[in-house]
Amino acid sequence: MPIAKIAPSMLSSDFASLAAEAHRMIKNGADWLHMDVMDGHFVPNITIGAPVIQSLRKHTNVFLDCHLMVSNPEKWVDDFAKAGASLYCFHIEATNEPEALIEQIKKAGMKVGVAVKPKTPIETVFPLVDKIDMCLVMTVEPGFGGQKFMPDCMPKVQSLRENFPKLDIEVDGGLSLDTIDTAAQAGANVIVAGTSVFKAESPKDVISTLREKVESVQSKS
Ligand code: DX5
Ligand code: ZN
């Protein structure tokens, strides 16, 4: 399984101090920053778009893992590439032409992720795996931070890991010190964590423990 990466979700940060919050997370050991983009249509919430990514990019070189919870993901590829996004992760439920979209993202110079909502069968991404860099298995219904982790999504992670040992598999939603073991054992190696990191007394300790838990599963496999 690929190396562990911990990606704090900036949705839980103070958006009014985004650059400072990003630097704080990087200083505390974050590998990636997870950027939740919502359009009020694919999900019932509105967050940030490419202009915010562009502003943040001026302050850091960190890997920006952009999670597009939007309808018509085709529409924003170029804007996000220009803004400095590192990875463009679209929802499989939001497009009828995933292969063309994957090509478009690659051409624009970004890494490609495909996300699946809790009720979407994981087999829908199997034919795409050799063309993508990461698969995001949602462990809550997308739309809001601070929701409860859904352990019933773990068989999807397991099946993905069994079939694709080298794939980056990201889990997103409700990840914390209480749920990391379940996710790591299922085979996830990219861990998104919003509430559990930002609300912690020591984000540094939470980030390092999340990483250790993934690495301990890796050392046994
Ligand atoms: C939910 C977002 C998540 C969210 C995670 O739609 O995709 O990235 O910010 O937040 P927590 O870790 O608080 O569940
Ligand atoms: Zn997310």
Q: Which residues are annotated as a binding site for a divalent metal cation?
A: 34, 36, 67, 172
Asked if 180 and 211 touch (Cβ cutoff 8 Å), the reply is no
pLDDT digit of tens for each residue in the chain (221 aa)?
A: 899 999 999 999 999 999 999 999 999 999 999 999 999 999 999 999 999 999 999 999 999 999 999 999 999 999 999 999 999 999 999 999 999 999 999 999 999 999 999 999 999 999 999 999 999 999 999 999 999 999 999 999 999 999 999 999 999 999 999 999 999 999 999 999 999 999 999 999 999 999 999 999 988 87
Q: How many CA atoms within 13 Å lie on the side-chain side of 173? A: 22
CA 170, distance to chain mean position in Å, is 6
Residue 205's pLDDT is: 98
Which pLDDT belongs to residue 73?
Answer: 98
Residue 220: the pLDDT is 85
* Contact in structure between 210 and 182 (CB atoms under 8 Å): no
* Cut 0.85: pTM above it: yes
Domain span holding position 96: 5-219
Distance CA 90, CA 77 (A): 10
Q: Provide the domain count of the chain.
A: 1
Q: Which atom of ligand 1 is the closest one to the Cα of 38?
A: 6
Residue 195 alpha carbon, nearest atom of ligand 1: 13
Q: Write the CATH number for 125.
A: 3.20.20.70
Ligand 1: which of 43, 45, 144 to mutate, most ligand atoms within 8 Å of CB? 144
- Measured from CB, residues less than 6 Å from any atom of ligand 1 are 9, 11-12, 34, 36, 67, 140, 142-147, 172-175, 192-196
